[in-house]
Amino acid sequence: MRAGIALGSNLGDRLANLRAAIDALRAIAETNEPFLEAPIYQTEPRFCPPGSPDFLNTVVEFGFDGSPLELLAAAREIETRLGRVRSGLQNEPRVIDVDLLYLDDLVHRDSELELPHPRMGERRFVLQPLADIRPELRLPGHGKTVSALLEGLGNAEAPLVPVSERL
């Protein structure tokens, strides 16, 4: 199965944090499957406490041979290993965020996890990098392709800035 993962960091060495998470995800990926890596973008914090630093965001996709809950456990372990601390404040600044977006066309809903991610179609910082690697992807519950969902966002948010232009 193909797993889509969104990565974000807005504390510490953001680029190094993303690279470390990507390396950790490569270690759990199926080795005989392609590992797709989107460009990294700098993004303004959305839905975060006032004064939160800008994020670096990207998306990866890889083959994964396991259950959704096994992938979630691996993502949480990566976050913990890289120093993420959860104080309970929603959308707080963080060293690393490893969010599961989808696992093929699987629909999973329980108290721990929802797949596909219920808000991914509303977030430019997810859709833009995902469109860079999988523009024609259609996920359950979304009748449109990823690029069509991205187009549908309009100009309500600030554009994303590729890291190479900013850092």
Residue extents of the structural domains in the chain:
2-166
Model confidence at 162, pLDDT cuts 50, 70, 90, reads confident
Model confidence at 97, pLDDT cuts 50, 70, 90, reads very high
Looking at residue 166, its pLDDT comes to: 42
Looking at residue 48, its pLDDT comes to: 84
Catalytic-role residue among 19, 46, 76, 94: 94
Query: Taking residues 157-164, what's their average pLDDT?
Result: 79
Q: How far apart are CA 41 and CA 163, in angstroms?
A: 5
Q: Is the pLDDT of residue 16 over 80?
A: yes
Average pLDDT across the chain, whole number: 91
Q: Is the pLDDT of residue 89 over 90?
A: no
Q: How far apart are CA 130 and CA 137, in angstroms?
A: 9
Looking at residue 164, its pLDDT comes to: 67
Q: Is the pLDDT of residue 121 over 90?
A: no
Active site residue 94: yes
- 43-51, Cβ contacts within 8 angstroms, sequence gap of 24 or more: 43/8, 43/124, 43/125, 43/158, 43/160, 43/161, 44/157, 44/158, 45/10, 45/91, 45/93, 46/123, 46/125, 46/157, 47/90, 47/91, 48/10, 48/91, 48/92, 48/93, 49/89, 49/91, 49/92, 49/93
Catalytic-role residue among 2, 14, 23, 84: 84
**Cβ–Cβ contacts within 10 Å for residue 156, how many?**
7
Closest CA to 84 of 5, 16, 4, 9: 9
Q: How far apart are CA 4 and CA 100, in angstroms?
A: 6
Model confidence at 17, pLDDT cuts 50, 70, 90, reads very high
Looking at residue 42, its pLDDT comes to: 94
Query: Taking residues 55-81, what's their average pLDDT?
Result: 97
Looking at residue 167, its pLDDT comes to: 42
Catalytic-role residue among 99, 123, 124, 132: 99
For the domain made up of 2-166, give the CATH fold: Alpha-Beta Plaits (3.30.70)
Catalytic-role residue among 26, 54, 81, 97: 97
Q: Which residue has the higher pLDDT, 60 or 44?
A: 60
Active site residue 138: no
Active site residue 54: no
